[in-house]
Amino acid sequence: MVGTALKKYAERAGLTCDGGYVYGKVRHRHIALVDGTGVKLLQIYLGPPACAAEDVRMLQAKRILENCDARRYRLIRQNAVNVGGGRAVVAFLDGPGAMDRIERYISEVMPRLDDLRLDGDACACCGEPLGEAAGYVLLDDYILPVHPECIPEITAQKSAADDGGGEGSLVRGAVGALLGIVAGAALWAALYLAGFVAGVAGFFVGLFSNSFYGLFGGRRGRTRTVIVTAALVLGVLAGQLGGMAAMYGKSAAPNAVEMSRGQYVLTRFEQILISGQEIALRRAYERTGTEAETQEEYICRNWNPEYSANRSEELCEFWVNLGMGLTFGGLSIQGLFFRKNREMHRSSPRRLK
């Protein structure tokens, strides 16, 4: 996994090769080297990530590392130096002699960091001096020096952060998802009313729920996947129900005028869910019947010889709509599942030799 040029450098400088990286201590600093696409990356550890966030020395370090003859070392043209999370990453164009240029950079530019008095030998986890005891972990594509006994701790911290403990709010996210449900369901109902295939709107139920969840600052990670998926299911059901409710008064259903909107939706649902017409009518009578006619008269008056044909047609439409809604919705939020997998893949720090 490690290229020949890196391997040779590792031998010369007494660095270790593992996990696709070459790493170790050079000129009092923990560094790591890795091959990228068309580039070689030099990671320089500047101090514990927890302390680095508000440290002005990080900006100064960036300036020092950038402030060199970029052509001589053939740094990439834009954003060649990135500083964050207690480390700097310098990107060099790959090609013949790349390793020589990097070595020159390490011996000529990197020592200028010494003026900043960085905590370059503090454990990335506990912040105590590392001394000779440094072990290394690979965390989110960065090599961090830690005490070997701190590795369980940094693993626990990382998985807590991935659960979204730090950032975002569950409540704000849920409110956003709810708005997404309403917007998506409204679109669904409108399509349903206009006679289009409403299931397509499932795509937007998912899209809106997920987008609003993010816009409102919902908690990230697994929580987001669970809430947005639940919102999709609820939104699809709400869309179908809303569509049926919107048909109220437009439909030639028996007795429609005598029923309230809620009763109408219930009756329509029963027509779908209850296979026996007599049972369905009896229940409808219990809800909407008047003393002016008996149950038998009501059933007689509303008896529909096409009930079973209509019912299976509606049942079919109902399930096709739900199925389509969930399928299209799943398409619009599939990124959540892939991203989650990627995070899980990256989440556990890897102990290096």
Coil, strand or helix at 92 = strand
Taking the C-alpha atoms of residue 224 and residue 94, their distance in angstroms, rounded to an integer, is 39
Q: Which two tokens stand for residue 267?
A: 């009756």
Nearest residue (CB) to Zn ion, 161 versus 256: 161
154 lies in the site for Zn ion, by CB under 5 A? no
First to last CA, the chain: 15
The distance of closest approach from Cβ of residue 18 to Zn ion in the complex, given in angstroms and rounded to an integer, is 20
Give the count of residues interacting with Zn ion (CB under 5 A).
Answer: 5
147 lies in the site for Zn ion, by CB under 5 A? yes
Q: What is the DSSP letter of 133?
A: G
The distance of closest approach from Cβ of residue 156 to Zn ion in the complex, given in angstroms and rounded to an integer, is 13
DSSP assignment of 40-87 equals EEEEEE-S-HHHHTT-HHHHHHHHHHHSS-HHHHTB-SSS-EEEETTE
Nearest residue (CB) to Zn ion, 153 versus 163: 153
Nearest residue (CB) to Zn ion, 149 versus 278: 149
The distance of closest approach from Cβ of residue 141 to Zn ion in the complex, given in angstroms and rounded to an integer, is 21
Q: 98-108 and 4-13 helices cross at what angle (nearest 10)?
A: 40
Considering only 123, 144, 234, 238, the residue that binds Zn ion (CB under 5 A) is 123
150 lies in the site for Zn ion, by CB under 5 A? yes
Nearest residue (CB) to Zn ion, 76 versus 126: 126
Residues 216-245 that bind Zn ion (CB under 5 A): none
Nearest residue (CB) to Zn ion, 3 versus 127: 127
The distance of closest approach from Cβ of residue 127 to Zn ion in the complex, given in angstroms and rounded to an integer, is 7
Nearest residue (CB) to Zn ion, 50 versus 309: 50
125 lies in the site for Zn ion, by CB under 5 A? yes
The distance of closest approach from Cβ of residue 349 to Zn ion in the complex, given in angstroms and rounded to an integer, is 13
Task: Report which residue's Cβ sits closest to Zn ion.
Answer: 123
Partnered with residue 32 across adjacent β-strands are 23, 43
Q: Could you give the C-alpha distances from 183 to 11, 107, 137, in angstroms and in order?
A: 61, 59, 45
Stretch that binds Zn ion, among 144-152, 156-164, 184-192, 333-341 (CB under 5 A): 144-152
Considering only 2, 76, 126, 256, the residue that binds Zn ion (CB under 5 A) is 126
122 lies in the site for Zn ion, by CB under 5 A? no
Among 146, 142, 143, 120, CA closest to 133: 146
* Per-residue exposure over 191-220, b if at least 16 CB sit within 10 Å of its own CB, e if not: bbbeeeebbbbbbbbbbbbbbbbbebebbb
The distance of closest approach from Cβ of residue 153 to Zn ion in the complex, given in angstroms and rounded to an integer, is 8
Coil, strand or helix at 251 = coil
The distance of closest approach from Cβ of residue 45 to Zn ion in the complex, given in angstroms and rounded to an integer, is 13
What is the CA 23 to chain-centroid distance, rounded? 31
> Cβ(15)–Cβ(6) under 8 Å?
no
51 lies in the site for Zn ion, by CB under 5 A? no
Nearest residue (CB) to Zn ion, 148 versus 165: 148
Taking the C-alpha atoms of residue 298 and residue 335, their distance in angstroms, rounded to an integer, is 53
Taking the C-alpha atoms of residue 227 and residue 177, their distance in angstroms, rounded to an integer, is 8
The distance of closest approach from Cβ of residue 19 to Zn ion in the complex, given in angstroms and rounded to an integer, is 20
The distance of closest approach from Cβ of residue 68 to Zn ion in the complex, given in angstroms and rounded to an integer, is 32
Nearest residue (CB) to Zn ion, 22 versus 150: 150
Nearest residue (CB) to Zn ion, 123 versus 201: 123
124 lies in the site for Zn ion, by CB under 5 A? no
What residues line the site for Zn ion (CB under 5 A)?
A: 123, 125-126, 147, 150
